[in-house]
Structure 1
Amino acid sequence: MALTPLAERDESDTSPGHPPRRPGMPWRSGWWPAGLVLVATAAVLHAYGVSLVTSGVFGLYVGLAVALPGMLLWRLLRRGPLGEDLAVGAAVGYGLEILAYVPARALGVPLAALAAPAAVLVVFALVPGLRRNWRSVGRAPAGWSWTLAGIALVLLFWSTVYFRHHGFGWPSYGRPDIDLPFHLALVGELKHHMDLVTPWVVSEPVYYHWFAYADMAATSWATGIEPYVLVARLSMLPVIFASVVAVAALGRRVAGSWRAGALTAVAAFFVLAPDPYGWVQDLFYRDYGFNAVDDGSDIRLTLWTSPTQTFGSLLFVPLMLVLLDVLRDPVVPRRKWAALAVLPAAVMGAKASFLPTLLCALLLVLAVHLLRRRSLHRRAAVALGIVLGWMVFAQLVLFGGESQGLGLGPLDVLRRNPAGVSTHYTEDPRGYRLVVLLALTLLGWAAMWCGAAGLGRRRLLDPDAVLLAGLPLAGFAVLLLFGHSGGQAEGFFLQGARPYAAALATWGLLSLLPGRSRRRAALGSVLGAVLAGVALVYVIRLADGGEVPVIGPERRAAAVTLALVWPWAVVGAVALGAAVLAWRARSAFAAGLVVAFLLGCCAPTAVRQMGYAYADGRDNGWHDRADLWPVVTEGTLEAGRWLRDHSSPDDLVATNMHCAYEGRRGRSACDRRHFGIAAYSERRVLVESWAYTAEAHDQELVQGVPQEHTDYWRPRVLADNDAAFADPSLETVGRLRDRYGVTWLFTEDDIMPSSPELPRYATLMFRAGHCAVYKIK
């Protein structure tokens, strides 16, 4: 059975010509919740150092150069309400922006990228046949708009967890998330070059998904906003907000009602795996928003610490919407096939994890259809060919055939299971312990997405439903079968599939509940089931107590195993008992109540996340925190920006420091994630560090250490570099200038001072904090 046609189940009364409900109530307009989100966002940004003028300029750019032209292009495929079309259109608009920026930057005229959105606006304004795309079709109901606004406001609040640790001055900028300088360095590279090299070690090419950085570079050129402000404050907010609405649009397309769309968005962001423990987790997992088991949650700091994941998640939605139409509609217009052929191009460079999971999902569609119908699903086969073609192109051209540290590692992710690490259960990762944690992880996923079973076997085997199920199944398989040396990348496959699991589960749950005529009568029972699940989790937490069951002299592994398992066993036993009763009653509504109960068990996890975010700000400060690990030296920002303003983008810099600050304080091994000079100067550095490169990941196997602790594989280059600072002379400094083309020297003298003889061979140009900039004579 195909997806239920939208017209059959749309309960919004928003078809053309139908008057909106209760026109006399202004708060029922969608402009009110949208306005509230905009005002709240401007206020929060102002509180975190972004002026209203800067926010306004950024908002105008995103609206006029990204969302509006993208909306018009999207409406060539489907025209709907303004909010949905703007959100999905924003994804299309970002793709257009990148497609225009790449050749413009390559030609040395980056602002020429603005010609593409301008051309779209002009063409759609002047061509009579396209003018209708300026008009919306239908209007979203007030409940839908306010629900999505509420989700956006919660995510805005969650974003402050990131904002409070990333201030604009010292010492806050010296203690960021360790990946922030990495992101800034790549934005700087995309801002000034298109013959891309790794800016912190110029011997290495960029084999990475860099489209998000191209967006930030284009935005910086068009608005004049500092890349730091874009990375740490602005650029992800419209992506996050658009994702909320786009996911709701996906849910409405899947299940055919506004209610389904709103519930899909709620589920995608706030239905987290049950956390029945009374104790809190290890500080790292707690601070970054990880749950007791890996559930692909978006309520974690990867919303900001991984802009590529957040950016890719949005760009993937229009591709999925078109693909669902291709699998569902009796006749597919050529323009949708054209869109299907083009949209993967934007996704492939936004995040490398999306196309492989989609490829697996399409293979599952083909396999299921072949077994059921004994025939080839031709549309799925064509889509598979398109996705495979773009994936091969991306792997060979964008990623150079490199794995970037991802390889086979069955159950490796469970060694970093938050509950296991917090209790020291995985310090000795024996097989039975990993199996225990695997069982808990599976239970968590069953609790979140068991609503999908409400579709029944026949519906679940339809191509569109199989596609939706295939994405989380593929993501979960990657999570369990592969490992990444960085300790997290395999989880992005699962995280990106979450909205589609949410859409499928919501569709199934609504299939179990009564129709519109009996909905109010059933609402009390559904809420009662949800509250029962909430109550059960809080009772278990109270019984469990606040002490972390850590393995040690007073607690053996068997006791910790019991402590980890029994709270889940209680939840599972109650749910299983309820499911047996529902099965005996042969009642779909009773089965829906079981699903609602399990969703209630999930709810306290999101409440705990938000409660910690508030308590952390209240107890430790809301602004300019400096309590993360130190990774940037004092003066780097000021000296880097001076160098940016007084040098050419083609100038090459050398430095005497190659260890991140955290690697130089209290650790025996040097941490090679030192990106601050390339980040703030927006200049290429001969050898600043070499972590986060394809070769560094390859060297892990050769050297037997994690990539951030490897030795540089070009020892002669490193020796020549360091000699100029440790033993400056006409020969050593001249070698940097003549052999390697170095123009500037950037020193960090707090830990490893350069030689006092250096000013004889290079002119001191600027000093700030512990940093100094020299120009080679």
Structure 2
Amino acid sequence: MTTAIAQGAETSGDEQPAGERSARRLLRLLPGAVAALVTVAALLAHGTPGRDVALFAAYVALALTLPGALLWRALTRLRLPVAVDLAAGTAVGYALECFTYMAARAAGQPRLAVLGPALTVVAFAAVPRLRRHWRSGHRPRVPLPHGLAIAAGFCFLVVSSALTVFRGHGLTPPANLGPYVDMPFHLALVGELRHHMPPTIPEVAGQPLSYHWFVYSDMAAASWATGIEPETLLYRLSVLPMLAVFTVLVPAVGHLVTRSWTAGALALAATYLLAPPDPYAWSPGAFAFGPPTPALAWLSPTQTFGAAVFSALAVLVAVLLRDGGRRLLVPVALLLALVAGAKATYLPLLLAGVCLLAAVDWLRTRRVDRDLLLLGGLTLATLAFAQFVLFGGAAQGVRVWPLFTAIKMAARWPTRAAIDGLPWAAAGVCAAFLLAWAAIWAGAFGPRRRPGSGPDRALTLFLGVGLASLGVVLLLGQPGLGQLYFLTAARPYLWIVAVAGLVAALRPAPPRLRPVLAVAAGAAGAGVLALVRAAGDPAPPRLDAPGGAGFGWAFVLPFVPLALLTGGLALALALRRVPWRRAALLWLVTGLSVPSAIATVRADLTPAGLRPQEIPAEGVAAMRWLRAHSDPADLVATNAHCRPGARRCDSRHFWISAYAERRVLVESWSYTARNMAALEDINRQPMTGLPFWDAGLLAANDAVFTAPTERDVSVLKERYGVRWLVADRGARVRVSPRLDAYAVRRYSDGPVTVYEIV
């Protein structure tokens, strides 16, 4: 799992003594060993069974990394560091696992999914032409300092995850009874994929699953192969190898396009640490949406899975644009297919990058590379398949709504100002967004080397990915702010572009001066932002002017002194004709983000507490009893539809389908495509506030619990196919004591009772 974090130092040479060579080999294992020890310690310290940790590590190594790395080497024939081979191979292993599991699950034999990886390993051992891919040979290595830096980045993610996620999501009651609202939703989908193919929404029987569900097939396959509880996989284990793949491959992509491991490591660090400059004295947090927190990796496993797979695809794209080679289009197509169901957010971004690069190539040479056209065609075809076949054309509530993000952002500030219909305020906030983003990725404006070269083409494509993500955030709206996932997806590649510009800008400076210049300029930028914050008005902005103009200016105004100070420095450096003035300016502007980065790290390392309890103390055991005593094809009905504690019904209620791993007639409808499509005003209507669209079905369901009759129970059984009833006496829909007369009580503990309709 973590052995791919890095490999040691540079090649030592055969002339060195055997003892020194052995010491160097051990040093090469140091980054991976450190990462593995930190990971195991974090897992064991937070209640993860040691047996599960060992089983999962063996599964990842033998069923994902080993067969995937062999396939990666055979399909790509690239001479990359062993660490990169193992990380990218794990991504290919995910593809092999997921597609094999889908076939095995559809055939009713989910445990046979391990045959795919097993037969792959056997083939590479038995076929003479394939055996050579077992040997690493003389491959380049990640220098030890950079390997340790990458390992440190992974350890930071693990430690932060332990403090912010593991502490708040236990594996046994009561620590697992107050999870983040979406975690039972993810767990229910793992259960759905464990028992059904193709999957549907488990909380509303018969509704299509228009969602990114491949990550749940990975967890389902791992659960069948190892016997580990899905909850343990979701809350502790499955995300870790995805994070390891990502933390190795982002620096690898940075190295491919800049020839610098330092630049690659900086891009990884900036992805998780650097937030846009926040110049407001009254701001409650990082402005313009900061970096993804490590907690997001667990709270949105689809995003994490997509990020890991896309990072392997980015390696292939970088090599393809640099060296050509149509043989790479086969693994590109394989990873594109996996990305389509992992997180299709990446496909339109990649297509935008291809289009920008094609336009630039045409302007430069009046021709477009055929490999680029094939890449664009494959991406477009995969995107079309994902949208119209895999997701059934569902939009998931996404609408064309210019400045919607700015409106929602402004409404989050302490004023709680209702600025809908105030275009000047929205425009002001939008302008502040653009200024903040321009500052954080200022390096993208740095110089490029060898215009038209391979690395430059990859940077152009990544710039297109980033610009498309910013356009989506500004032009589209979604009730759950899902458009922000486009920006999260593009951040690593925007940072690769920015770091490439920052590194290139330093080249005119003497080598020994470069780190001093970068640190001094960055510190100056941090100081400038601190001064602006200290001189600002601590009171939040108010709607003083007609049309909200004053509110909008409150967001833009703090950037004026920043621009004046930065412009003054640029002018002074230009008048003195300093050869490295661009480097000083770019690093100073990037330094404006340092205070936000400090706040980000502090937040990421702040231990979390338990959330308010939402699942009854006896609920988990009751649902696991139901799982053990029912058939996966059985349908369940329940009276529980709303989360406890809310004034209005918040129908994000998932724990019954999550722990029973059974489909429910009606449990929750908030995340269904039909509910999303019914939203008419995504700025005013929360996606959790709409009533269930089939009032007759919901009435028939609830009548069995509130005022049961023999006819009501018969309708539920004969018309809808319900066999089991789960009654929660703590739910809003009350439970009649007469229910025992019409259904057989099979299990009862506390407020939860399980009935069987016979």
Q: TM-score, normalised by structure 1?
A: 0.89
Match for 2:484: what amino acid? G
Aligned-pair CA distance for 1:456:
4.1
Superposition deviation, residue 478 in structure 1: 0.6
Structure 2 distance, partners of 1:250, 1:653, is 48
Instruction: State the partner residue of 1:643.
Output: 626
* % identity of equivalent residues: 38
For the Cα contact (< 8 Å) 1:292–1:418, is it kept in 2? no
What corresponds to 1:130 in structure 2?
Answer: 130
Q: How far is the alpha carbon of 1:186 from its aligned partner?
A: 0.6
Q: Which residue in 2 is equivalent to 1:770? A: 751
- Please tell me the residue identity of whatever aligns with 2:59: Y
Deviations 1:176-210 (A, max 9, x none): 21111110111100011103221000131111110
Matched, 1:232 2:230: no
1:396 aligns to 2:399 (yes or no): no
Could you say what secondary structure the match of 1:174 adopts? coil
In structure 2, what is the Cα distance between the partners aligned to 1:276 and 1:702?
32
- 1:592: which partner in 2? 583
| Aligned-residue RMSD, C-alpha | 2.8
Aligned: 1:734 with 2:695: no
In the alignment, is the contact (CA less than 8 A) between 2:98 and 2:218 conserved in 1?
Answer: yes
Partners of 2:9 and 2:144 within 8 A in 1: no
- Pair 1:509 & 2:486 matched: no
> Residue 578 in 1 paired to residue 569 in 2?
yes
Residue 595 of structure 2: aligned partner: 604
- The CA deviation string for residues 125-157 of structure 1, in whole angstroms up to 9 with x for no partner, is 333333332333132211111111111121112
SS of structure 2 residue aligned to 1:757: helix
Listed as ranges, the gaps of 5+ residues in structure 2 are 1-7
- The answer as to 2:629 corresponding to 1:626 is no
**Distance in 1 separating the partners of 2:145 and 2:430:** 39
Matches of 1:500 and 1:719, distance apart in 2: 50
User: Is the 1:88–1:246 Cα contact (8 Å) retained in structure 2?
Assistant: yes
Deviation at 1:598, TM superposition (A): 2.2
Which deviates further from its counterpart, 556-565 or 355-364? 556-565
Q: How far did residue 758 of structure 1 move? A: 0.5
Deviation string, structure 1 residues 469-521 (Cα, Å, up to 9, x no partner): 100111111111000122x2101111111111111112222212238x94223
1:322 aligns to 2:316 (yes or no)? yes
**Equivalent AA in structure 2 for residue 294 of structure 1:** F
The whole-number CA distance in structure 1 between the counterparts of 2:535 and 2:681 is 50
Cα distance, 1:571 vs. partner? Answer: 2.9
Alpha-carbon spacing, 1:371–1:143, altered in 2? closer, same or farther (3 Å): same
The one-character-per-residue Cα deviations of 1:733-771 (angstroms, maximum 9, x if unpaired) are 121111111110001111433111101111111123321
> What are the ranges of 5 or more consecutive residues in structure 1 without an aligned counterpart?
1-10
DSSP 3-state at the match of 2:719 = helix
State the 1:443 CA deviation: 1.8
Structure 1 pair 653/419, CA: closer, same or farther in 2 (3 Å)?
closer
Task: State how many pairs are aligned.
Answer: 740
Question: Is the contact made by 2:410 and 2:417 (CA closer than 8 Å) also made in structure 1?
Answer: no
Give the equivalent residue in structure 2 for 1:33: 31
- 1:68-95: CA deviations, max 9, x gaps? 2212222221232222221222111111
705 and 502 in structure 1: CA distance in 2 versus 1, 3 angstrom threshold: closer
Distance verdict in 2 for CA 1:15–1:375, change over 3 Å: farther
Map of 1:90-239 to 2, 5 A cutoff? 90-136=90-136, 137-159=139-161, 160-239=163-242
> What secondary structure sits across from 1:747 in the alignment?
strand
Which letter does structure 1 place at the counterpart of 2:313? L
Output the CA distance in 1 between the equivalents of 2:389 and 2:288.
Answer: 36
Q: Distance in 1 between matches of 2:67 and 2:591?
A: 41
Q: Which amino acid aligns with 1:710?
A: L
1:723 aligns with 2:721: no
The range that moved more, 645-654 or 265-274, is 265-274
Out of 205-214 and 428-437, give the one that drifted further. 428-437
* Structure 1 counterpart of 2:686, from 697, 700, 706: 706
Q: Are 1:371 and 2:363 counterparts?
A: yes
Specify the alignment match of 2:661 in structure 1.
Answer: 682
Q: Hey, what's the Cα distance between the residues in 2 that align with 1:16 and 1:426? A: 68
Aligned mates of 1:518, 1:147 — CA distance in 2: 24
Structure 1 equivalent of residue 5 of structure 2: none
DSSP 3-state at the match of 1:202: coil
2:288 pairs with one of 287, 293, 316: 293
- Please give the alpha-carbon distance, in whole angstroms, between the structure 1 residues aligned to 2:270 and 2:255: 13
CA contact (8 A) 1:105 1:194 kept: yes
Q: Which moved more, 1:349-358 or 1:251-260?
A: 251-260
TM-score by length of 2: 0.91
Which of 395, 407, 411 is equivalent to 1:415? 407
Indicate the SS of the match to 1:743. strand
**TM-aligned CA distance change 1:586 to 1:219, over 3 Å:** farther
**More displaced, 603-612 or 188-197?**
603-612
Query: How far off is 1:247 after superposition?
Result: 0.3
Output the CA distance in 2 between the equivalents of 1:83 and 1:373.
37
Q: Which of 16-25 and 644-653 deviates more?
A: 16-25
For the Cα contact (< 8 Å) 2:87–2:245, is it kept in 1? yes
CA distances 1:603-629 after superposition (whole Å, capped 9, x unpaired): 221221222344x42xxxx56x134xx
Letter in 1 for 2:79: R
Please tell me the residue identity of whatever aligns with 1:354.
Answer: Y
1:760 and 1:103 map into 2 onto residues whose CA distance is 44
Seen in structure 2, the aligned counterparts of structure 1 residues 260 and 138 have a Cα distance that, compared at 3 Å, is same
1:324-369 CA-partner distances (Å, limit 9, x unpaired): 222222x51x421222232210010001211011112112222222
Q: Secondary structure at the match of 1:317?
A: helix
**1:33 CA drift (Å):** 2.2
Number of the residue aligned with 2:739: 758
Match of 1:51 among 39, 49, 52: 49
CA distance in 2, matches of 1:133, 1:147: 28
Partners of 2:354 and 2:368 in 1: CA distance: 12
CA distance in 2, matches of 1:472, 1:744: 49
1:496 has 2:489 as partner: yes
What is the aligned partner in structure 2 of residue 6 from structure 1?
none
Map 1:315-464 → 2, pairs under 5 A:
315-329=309-323, 331-332=324-325, 334-417=326-409, 421-425=413-417, 427=419, 430-456=422-448, 459=451, 463-464=457-458
- Structure 1 counterpart of 2:702, one-letter code: D
Deviation digits for residues 374-424 of structure 1 (CA, Å, limit 9, x no counterpart): 333322222111111111111121100111111101010112227852343
